[in-house]
Structures are given as structure tokens and as C-alpha cells.
Structure 1
Amino acid sequence: MNGDRWVTVLLFVVALAVLGALVWVAGVEETLAALGRARLSLVAVVVALTVVWLVSWGLSLHVVLRALGAPVSVPRAVLVFTAAMFSNNITPFGQAGGEPVSALLISEAADSEYETGLAAIASVDTLHFVPSIGMALIGIGLFGMEAVATSRDLYLSVAVLVGLFVLVIGAAVLVYHYHHRIEQMLATAVTPIVRAVSRMVPGRTPPGTQAVENRIGNFFESIDRIGTDRRALALAGGFSTVGWFTLGVALWTAAISVGASIPLAAALVAVPIGSIAGATPLPGGSGAIETAFAAILVSLTTVSNGGAVAAVLVYRLATYWLPTIAGGLVAAALGAKSAQVQS
């Protein structure tokens, strides 16, 4: 555990170094001057929009858990989703690294099996990816052909986003149609690993092959249940879309707050495309996401380097640090409650 903590600390130091380099390249004086002009009333609006985003995506989790037969109240779903954001924000590779912890938090809150929580967060993350494509394309459409032609980087970014969309949807379709065969392959590969790890944990009895197969089967059954519930998919996707649009408006408002006015379309393009940088090894994509956002805004608009960086820093102050701090408190509370129940 101590080694993991030191790795996390080291990665945060690297993220801060990347942020420092970003500010230096953009111009320290220009960036600080823009931050100094920040209108606190608009910064408060960015924070409020962040809350709307968390509630929207928390509602998406609420819908998915209800479809899985593990319902929780709306407030609890929002709090659990915020805790999941905390785990994503402090682990490398963003959502990919934080999903196992998020699944544990969800299973504790919903009083369900771990594989149900894993299916829920995996489904929610997949649903979040689909509307991001549409929002980016809407942003490009608002720009018009002339604006798009001014930035070849935009073509590349959209191509990457669409490519990821095809891969994710293709993988989902393959898993849905061949899940029985995939279950067998996973059971064969995972069972020896799980048994070996269990032998190294004091007080733990290695699970049998059938137990591991049953858990894997339960996970795919949960995925199948969500995939066949069209009403739940539509409702969860709608809440996800509202969340994405709110994030775009939050970035747009953050830019206005520091005097770096940008078209709303630029923010709608920057948020989903820039978020791809969250897949980097840095905790929650810190440093990489800010750099991507700033680069996209500079390439799409006439905003200065310092103004773009200042806008992104205000945006990330709300959308990264607020969920991290609030989610950490929720995660700690859930952990304390679980410990009391077990004792």
C-alpha cells in the first residue's frame, strides 16, 4: 500500500510539473494576469454548473442501477458517482484505473455484489462516451466549414474521436453477441490468478473454479440486462448528454470569467476531444487534459495562450478538484460505514 501511495504522489508531482510547463510556455505573466481578472461571480457559475454535471451523471448511474435490480435513491446515486470521480481522479489512466475502486464503492452503496457494481460503472462509462461524439460534431457544425478549414488539428482530433467511438461500439457489440464464449475464456484465464492471489492474503480461502465462473457469469448477465432495457439506455443516455453539454457551458463560462471570450462551439468541441487525454498515466489525466484543452482552444479561436490556459485552470479547478475533494469525503464515509457493519 505504501508503495502505491508513493507512486500516486510521484504521479501528482509529475502532473504539477506538466501544469507548470504549460503555464511557462503560455506565458507566466499573461496567465497570472488573466487569472487576476477572473470574475468571482462567473467562477461561482462554473462551480454551480459542475454540480449540475455531477447530478446529471449521478442520475445516469441511478437509472443503470435500477435496471440492474440494485436501486439506490437519487441523492445516494449522486454521492456515489462523486466518490467514483474521486477514484478516477487519483488513479493513473483515469476511468480505466479507477473503475475497480468505483465498482467497490457502488456495490457497497447499493448493497449488491461486486460484479453488479462493476457492470454498472462500466455501462455508465460506455454510455457517457456515445453523447460526447454527438456534442463534438454539433460543435463542429456550429463552426461551419470555414472555421473547420482553419485547423487541420481539428480534423485529426475528430478522426481520433470517431475511431474510438467505432472501437468502443464494436467491442460492445462483440461482447454482447459472444459473451458466453468470452465468459469461458475469462474463467479459464482468471481463475488461476484469483486463486494464487487469494493464497497470499492471510485469512482468505482460495475460491473454487465454479465460484469464479459464477461471478464472471453474473457480470455478463448484468451487462446483458442493461443492454436489453431500451428505456433505461435512453434515459441514462439523456442524462449523460445533459452532463456533457453542461461541461461545455462550464468551459465557455470559465473563459468569459477571465476575459478570454470564446464561441460556445469551441467549448463543445474541446471538452469531449480534450477529455481523451484522461487516458494518460497521470492521475485523472491532470496536466495532459489541461494541455489538450488549451491547445484546442488556441487552435480554434483567437484567444491568447495565457487566456486559454487561465480559462482551463478555472474550469479544472471546479470540474477536477471539487469532485476530488467532495468524492474523497464520500468515499471515506462509505468506507467507515462498511467497516462498522463488518465489525
Structure 2
Amino acid sequence: MQIPGRDGLTRRDLLWYGITGLLFAGLLYFADTGEFFRALGRVDRSLFAVAVAIGLSSLFVWAWVWHRFFGQLGIETTVSRTIRLFLTGHFLNSITPLGQFGGEPVMAYLVSEATDSEYEEALAAVVSSDMVNAVPFFTFTIGGVGYLYLFGSLQAFLVEVGVLAVAILTLGGGLAYLLWSPDSTLGRAATRLFAGLEARFDRGEALFQSLQERVERVEALFEKAGRDRRFLVTTVTVSHLAIVAQIVSLYVVFFAMGLEPTIVPLYFIVNLSTIATLSPTPGGSGTYEAAFSWLMTLFYSVDLATALTAAVLFRLTTYWPGLVLGFGTLLTLDRDGEAEPPEEPEL
């Protein structure tokens, strides 16, 4: 992952930034730009400030999960430094096109440099934390679909979303089990793979032996991270508070806009629009706002301008403040010499 402004922008970066700009321009065009700005002007600023404070708390919940795994793996660091590292990672992933795809190796490098820990330890902690922090989006979605099935009306697309959420949670849970379980399933698979590759090549015995030792080391650290089941259950349970904070934040945003919020639509809007952050644009920008606006017009009888206003305001409660804080923490890490972002982390 490159850091824009430090190593320069590649053509791919410029392409995705351009696509993001076009998505925003298209949304504003179809939403009626004048009505959009009038809706922004009617927002209650005091209530919106409350929404920002609540929304930001979700970032600190996710940082707490990081700190929990740091302690579990013996990585010595303070709470404040953990928060700074997490916010730095949030900043780097959010400004970098494709940053949401596989940013863990870069973050593991930053953590290892800032805490003087081994890279493998940092990687196990970061990947484990990200898996735990992803769980609530799927459990909340499945719970919401189940609630509507039992007590309300269930639209066809929500049934498909529920099935997809169950499938992803099952696959993710299976991967987490393999990573955290002590039965060395992945290690044995890697051993067979390296043995097969070594048999096909006359040279490279030392390389394959080194890779095998590295895999065994990483596997042992993941097993250590997931050894305590009570620790995992507690951490996953508390991580759900981040989504609760975002739902409450959006609830307050609606009040600030003069809209009448209802909890079930807010619940789905927050969880389902998050899927759009997995797009290749920086931080899911453009695609997130488009998905949020579509979901809002689906659940509420509002025009696109109002829906887009809500989307932008909600992003201002978590995403954009997180960028500002993350940029500041990145500067402090560099200034203190705690970490220098890598060109290409070595796995």
C-alpha cells in the first residue's frame, strides 16, 4: 500500500480517486444540488455534535479489540499508543485505493515497529482483531433479518442478504477456527504443500525450510491468540458496541435533520451500507454514499437529496473525523521515530 503524497500517486490511484469524484458528482446531480445544500443548512448543529461524539466512540471500541489481542500475544504497548496505531491504520486504509483489501500486512509492520515486537506477532494480533471486529456486521444483519421474519414483513432482497450473511459468517468462522484451533490443520497443509514443491525443484531446500518455519511460527501465534475461549467470547461481545454506537449516532443525525427515526431501518442502513466500503475506491467513498442513499430511500419516503444529506452527515460522524485523527497520529508516529511505513512488508 502506498501513502499518497509520500511516494506519489500511481495511475491506478488517480483512476480510483477520479471514479470517487464522478460518483459524488453523479449523486449530487441526481439529488438536486440546491436541495442538498438547503438540507445541510437546516441541520441542528448541537445535535449533530452529539452524533459525532457517539459515532467516534465506535473507533475506540475497535481499538480496544486491538489492545486486547496485543495483551493476549504479549505485545507490550500502552492504551494510548494502541489507539494511535489503530487510527493510523484507519487513515492509511481509508485514503488508499484498494486499501480495504489486505491492509493487514502493512498495519502489522507499523505495529511491530512501534512496539518492538516481532512481525509475526503483530500480524496475528491485527488479523485476529480484524476478524473479531467484522463479526458484528454479520450477526446484526442476521439478527435483523430474523426479527423481520418473526415480527414484520421481510422483503425479498433482505432474504438474500440474510442468506449471504450466514454464508460469509460460516466461512469466516471456519477460517477463524482453523487459525485459532490447536490441531495444526493449516500447518500440516502447508507442510504438504512445501514438501510437494521441494520435490519438484532441485534447489531451494533452504528457502522451503525457512518458509515452513515461518508458517509454523505464525500458526503457533494464532493458536495463542485464540486459546482462551472466554477471552474470545468477551472480546467479540464487546466489539458489538461499535455497531450500536453507529446506530445511535445515525439516530441522532436523523433528529438533527428533523426526520423521525425508526430503529429497524436505521439498523439495516448502518449494517448493509458498510458492505459498500469494500469497494476499490478510497475508504469506499462514493459507493458507500450511493448504497446508503439507496437504502434510505428504500426504507423511508424521502427524496434522494435528503438521503444523500443523511449519508454525508453520517460519514462525518465516523469516517471523516477518523481520517483527521488518523493523519495526526501518523505524524506523531513518524516524529517519534516509532514507525516508518513500509514499501513492501516481508511475510
CA distance, structure 1, for counterparts of residue 114 and residue 232 of structure 2: 22
**Deviation of residue 138 (structure 1)?**
4.0
Do residues 67 (structure 1) and 66 (structure 2) align? no
Match of 1:230 in 2: 229
Q: Is the 8 A contact 1:105 1:334 kept in 2?
A: no
**Deviation of residue 186 (structure 1)?**
7.3
User: In proportion to residue count, which structure has more helix?
Assistant: 1
CA distance, structure 2, for counterparts of residue 282 and residue 15 of structure 1: 6
* 1:42-81 equivalence runs, <5 A: 42-81=47-86
- C-alpha change, 1:113 and 1:41, in structure 2 (3 Å) is same
Q: Is the 8 A contact 1:88 1:284 kept in 2?
A: yes
- Read off the aligned partner of 2:141 and give its amino acid letter: A
Residues 83-124 of structure 1 show CA distances to partners (whole Å, capped at 9, x for unaligned) of 111122123344324222221222223221122222111111
CA distance, structure 1, for counterparts of residue 61 and residue 24 of structure 2: 29
Match of 1:196 in 2: none
**Deviation of residue 289 (structure 1)?**
1.4
Residues 167-187 of structure 1 show CA distances to partners (whole Å, capped at 9, x for unaligned) of 211233344452213443676
Match of 1:169 in 2: 173
Residues 265-295 of structure 1 show CA distances to partners (whole Å, capped at 9, x for unaligned) of 2222122221111221111111111111221
CA distance, structure 2, for counterparts of residue 188 and residue 42 of structure 1: 62
**Deviation of residue 140 (structure 1)?**
4.3
CA distance, structure 2, for counterparts of residue 255 and residue 139 of structure 1: 20
- C-alpha change, 1:78 and 1:339, in structure 2 (3 Å) is closer
CA distance, structure 2, for counterparts of residue 67 and residue 125 of structure 1: 15
Q: Is the 8 A contact 1:34 1:258 kept in 2?
A: yes
Match of 1:268 in 2: 267
Q: What SS does the aligned partner of 1:95 have?
A: coil
- C-alpha change, 1:114 and 1:248, in structure 2 (3 Å) is same
Match of 1:199 in 2: none
From 160, 184, 191, give the equivalent of 2:164.
160
TM-score normalized by the length of structure 1: 0.84
Identity of aligned residues (%): 29
TM-score normalized by the length of structure 2: 0.83
- C-alpha change, 1:94 and 1:226, in structure 2 (3 Å) is same
**Deviation of residue 161 (structure 1)?**
2.2
CA distance, structure 2, for counterparts of residue 339 and residue 173 of structure 1: 33
CA distance, structure 2, for counterparts of residue 268 and residue 164 of structure 1: 19
From 122, 131, 136, give the equivalent of 1:131.
136
Gaps of at least 5 residues in structure 1 are 192-206
CA distance, structure 2, for counterparts of residue 51 and residue 225 of structure 1: 31
- C-alpha change, 1:186 and 1:42, in structure 2 (3 Å) is farther
Match of 1:307 in 2: 306
CA distance, structure 1, for counterparts of residue 318 and residue 160 of structure 2: 26
CA distance, structure 1, for counterparts of residue 196 and residue 42 of structure 2: 57
From 73, 94, 98, give the equivalent of 1:89.
94
CA distance, structure 1, for counterparts of residue 197 and residue 269 of structure 2: 39
Do residues 184 (structure 1) and 191 (structure 2) align? yes
- Read off the aligned partner of 1:114 and give its amino acid letter: Y
* 1:329-340 equivalence runs, <5 A: 329-338=328-337
Do residues 112 (structure 1) and 133 (structure 2) align? no
Do residues 290 (structure 1) and 281 (structure 2) align? no
CA distance, structure 2, for counterparts of residue 69 and residue 190 of structure 1: 34
Q: Is the 8 A contact 1:58 1:81 kept in 2?
A: yes
Q: CA RMSD in A?
A: 2.8
- Read off the aligned partner of 1:213 and give its amino acid letter: Q
CA distance, structure 1, for counterparts of residue 240 and residue 193 of structure 2: 33
Gaps of at least 5 residues in structure 2 are 199-205, 341-347
Q: Is the 8 A contact 1:259 1:307 kept in 2?
A: no
**Deviation of residue 340 (structure 1)?**
8.9
CA distance, structure 1, for counterparts of residue 308 and residue 16 of structure 2: 21
**Deviation of residue 5 (structure 1)?**
4.4
How many residue pairs get aligned? The number is 325
Q: Is the 8 A contact 1:53 1:242 kept in 2?
A: yes
From 20, 34, 40, give the equivalent of 1:35.
40
- C-alpha change, 1:5 and 1:334, in structure 2 (3 Å) is farther
CA distance, structure 2, for counterparts of residue 253 and residue 190 of structure 1: 57
**Deviation of residue 321 (structure 1)?**
1.4
